Amino acid sequence: MTDTKPAVLFLCTHNAGRSQMAMGFFKHLAGDRAIVYSGGSEPASDVNSAATAAMNEKGIDIAGERPRRWTMDDVDAVHVVVTMGCGDECPYIPGKRYENWELADPAGQSVDAVRPIRDDIEHRVRGLLAALGIHVDSHTTAD
């Protein structure tokens, strides 16, 4: 685990929607002031196209990301693990900081249905960054 920068791991089942959007916002807003990973318990073959389109509306391109299975190395490398609907499939290590974000699954949803999920994720990522001591100017938008 790095001592100089906070590190976060976003986990969901398929690593194709929620966790990819969260990682996209985190990278965009934190820049090089933090480290971020994402993974899934049952990775999909591609990132959700509606999630990609919704993030493009915010000026964040996640189309180049690839869903991947999380590893224990990922968990060991971070300060915070954020789970999003992977239940018992998500790893748990005593002493590690965990947050569970209850979010609708964007799988199979239209872009219109994904937008409120995306906006909720952005709000939560901003709160997490603040809790980690990473100041994000309120004028910094993902638009």
List the structure tokens of 18.
Answer: 């929620």
| Beta-bridge mates of residue 69 | 40
Measured distance CA(112)–CA(69) in Å, rounded: 28
Q: Which of 86, 114, 125, 132 is catalytic?
A: 86
| DSSP secondary structure letters along 32-57 | GGSEEEEEESS--SS--HHHHHHHHT
Catalytic-labelled residue, pool 8, 11, 12, 80: 12
| Catalytic residue from among 23, 80, 84, 90 | 90
The answer to whether residue 74 is catalytic is no
Active site annotation includes 82: no
Q: Among this protein's residues, is 90 annotated catalytic?
A: yes
Catalytically active residues, by annotation: 12, 86, 90
